[in-house]
A and B are shown apart, each in its own frame.
Chain A
Amino acid sequence: MNFKYRRYLVEMFDGAHLTEIYRPIVPLVINGPKGSLRIRPLLDSGSDFTLFPLSVAEVIGIEVHRDRIGAVGGIEGGSLATYPGNVELELSDNVESCRWTTTIYFSASNNMLLGHLGALEYFTVTLNHYERTFSLEPNEVFPGQTETHLKH
């Protein structure tokens, strides 16, 4: 499945100029008992697992196991409480789609990171920053279903 990087304007270093930044943002559908959400997490190859906000779980009724609290750390050195939840994720580029059930983690942070455990571990990921494209192809341990959509 092939995707395009997305463009953002960011004050990079001197605070006086805006710079165009390109990020691999993944169009993902997350399914829960109360419905579905289309979300756009950052593909983060440096993240050990997938982390979404608790508000995502609340909107679509995903049961979050608050008795199984964990902690994660970021580059700032801080710590954040996380809670696991079982979800169904769906990834599609309108040519091919992949759907799988997995455990991801939720936290009070708004940042959405598509990391290794539960997500990237099931794909061969290729980043091509120059072309502003990236791809995810399901690998031999992908646990879900794939479907190819015929183009007319």
Chain B
Amino acid sequence: MKSQHPQECEPVVGAEYGGKWIAWDDAATNIVASGPTLEEVRNQALVCGVKLPSLEFVPASDRAFVGGL
């Protein structure tokens, strides 16, 4: 019987990032920047030395996301 899912050690996106853009480092393991716009977060990550940050918009964290606009 499996007692643990294989990915429970993967990085977690905290609720504080809901409704914000975030940027991951080159290995996509650490969040290096967050903010209200894609441009701002990308620039923050580039300043931090991330060559090609992974950019993501996190849906609001005060409710489940079931698709939408």
A6 to B39, CA, bound (A): 23
CB-contact partner of A4 in B10, B14, B37, under 8 A: B10
Interface size class on chain A is: 35 or more
| A130 CB contacts on chain B under 8 angstroms | 5
- B21 to A: closest C-beta gap in Å: 7
8 Å CB contact of A74 from B6, B7, B53, B69: B69
Q: Is the interface on chain B under 10, 10 to 19, 20 to 34, or 35 or more residues? A: 20 to 34
Q: Does A132 contact B (CB under 8 A)?
A: yes
B interface with A by C-beta (< 8 Å): 5-7, 10-15, 18, 21, 24, 28, 37-39, 42, 52-59, 61-69
For the complex with contacts A8-B13, A55-B37, A111-B69, 19 further pairs of A-B residues with Cβ separation under 8 Å are A6-B10, A8-B58, A9-B12, A11-B61, A12-B64, A21-B65, A36-B52, A37-B55, A38-B53, A38-B54, A40-B55, A55-B38, A55-B39, A59-B38, A72-B69, A74-B67, A74-B68, A110-B57, A132-B6
